[in-house]
Structure 1
């Protein structure tokens, strides 16, 4: 089971009501992420990147989390495809995208997405990123600033430590990483799948490493989102928002990391409103409104 799906199902089993389990289980039956009518591969930057496109209109890129895939956005694709051209890709080494290399970084994935957009002839897109996808979204805005018109991120982080991540979650993740690395040493030869899982887990455990002041360079408006009981500390989410010049902050009450699933209606409606309306600076007397 991909890491992102494992983590999500673990949260569902221990903490969430039956309705959320049913929503996560729906990922296994949807055609999103395995749709032969729209699914294609792009041979870019030494990998085969799998992607799907839905709808018509202004382009909107959605970026999934660690170990996830396109179908993590089952509640966003049909909603936004009514008004946008929705582009989704399985990040390298995840989902259907293959990656023969030994290394993996968020910077590599952001550059992959930039190249995919170039191949599709898209000069600028709106972006929604969840978890690692939020990290990739910020890096896309930093490394290719002209590509991102507006950016909405949920459950993103700048660094892999307990100043950013809930200490219990951090300890769990590092424990899983050690188990996978130990398995890699014991299995000789290790399978390609185990090697790939270890590579993705190392990414989660030791990256990203983005200085907070680097966010000052992000030009586009950004909606920074997290659940009030997210795996990412609220103080860290606030740090991200405070370092982006044109940002809004939305902490969703009674929510964890899976905001696009557990809070799908509020999530979709709020991001839709953010994308549709001009960003406004709220300064001086306007703060009283």
Structure 2
């Protein structure tokens, strides 16, 4: 039997006039687009989540501008631009609706895609995502960044390792000023959504709960013994939650509905 990995295409395609690295398992299964986190790249999530999800889905991913194997530009980073990239990728590679799984910055971008183009999103999984920058926990300045991140960036970026300082500064500028959605904005999301977070996440639990409670078709999974890097720490558990949710992404049938009964 040919595996999803054996059929996968990896290379570059033009997205908005910019050569963008992508991966596409191909085939006829339901498409699932993975959106990587900040200071990260698609291969990291493809390695951790791809094999399991690939058993059921046509898994796709791409490196956003300035991330992974996609070159940077002079422009600042903005979540609106990241969402526009994702929309362009879906339009070009899928040509119709897809399931979106976004981690961290990728989750923030995925949420904007669902607001802008609900016709392109079958279901949404937001892992360590925030709808407003005030949901971030106070942390020490990143400085030069962990060496492992610098090394991974240098090994992949067309801009070279010396560009990491610029890359980090652009990311931090975005994190301290974006996103700026409100709970009223979240109530407009018509897509079934699973919110996932570690119990010791970079985002406050109150903010994560607010995100979940404001989504009309939201579900929540807080994973114990995990941080913002939950997808790397507990990939098997994360993929199980994703698969279970996507198998029936509508309103779940429970014995004692409270919140869902009120929203019905």
Q: Is TM > 0.5 for Structure 1 vs Structure 2?
A: yes
For Structure 1 versus Structure 2, the TM-score category normalised by the shorter chain is 0.7 to 0.9
62-71 or 48-57, larger mean C-alpha shift = 48-57
The number of equivalent residue pairs is: 238
CA contact (8 A) 1:60 1:125 kept: yes
1:130 counterpart (81, 103, 110): 103
Q: Is the aligned partner of 1:94 residue 2:67?
A: yes
| SS, match of residue 206 in structure 1 | coil
CA contact (8 A) 2:212 2:220 kept: yes
Change (3 A) 1:176 1:234: farther
Question: Helix, strand or coil: the match of 2:176?
Answer: helix
Native 8 Å contact 1:246 1:281 kept in 2:
no
1:227 deviates by: 0.7
Following superposition of structure 1 onto structure 2, how do residues 269-280 of structure 1 map, counting pairs within 5 Å? 269-280=240-251
8 A contact 2:123–2:249 mirrored in 1: no
Query: By how many angstroms is 1:107 displaced?
Result: 0.7
TM normalised by structure 1 equals 0.75
Following superposition, the deviation at residue 211 of structure 1 comes to 1.8
More helix as a share of residues: 1
Aligned counterpart in structure 1 of residue 224 of structure 2, from 253, 269, 272: 253
Go from structure 1 to structure 2 and tell me whether the alpha carbon gap of 1:54 and 1:229 turns closer, same or farther (over 3 Å shift).
same
CA contact (8 A) 1:67 1:200 kept: yes
Contact (CA 8 Å) 1:134, 1:155: kept in 2 or not?
Answer: yes
Partner of 1:112: 85
Q: Residues 210-249 of structure 1 correspond to what in structure 2 (within 5 A)?
A: 210-249=181-220
Provide the residue aligned with 1:69 in structure 2: 41
Paired residues of 1:55 and 1:81 also in contact (CA < 8 A): no
CA contact under 8 A between 2:9 and 2:26: conserved in structure 1?
no
Higher mean alpha-carbon deviation, 131-140 vs 196-205, is at: 196-205
* Unpaired segments ≥5 residues, structure 2: 146-161, 260-264
Q: Which deviates the most, 274-283 or 92-101? A: 274-283
Question: What is the RMSD of the two structures over their aligned residues, measured on CA atoms?
Answer: 2.6
SS of alignment partner, residue 116 of structure 1: helix
Q: Displacement of 1:283 after TM fit?
A: 8.3
Counterpart-to-counterpart distance in 2, 1:251 and 1:90 = 27
Tell me the SS of whatever aligns to 1:203. Answer: helix
d(CA) in 1 for partners of 2:178, 2:220 = 23
Match of 2:169 in 1: 198
Residue 153 in structure 1 maps to residue 126 in structure 2? yes
| Unaligned segments of structure 1, at least 5 residues | 1-31, 178-190
Select 2:30's aligned residue among 58, 66, 84.
Answer: 58
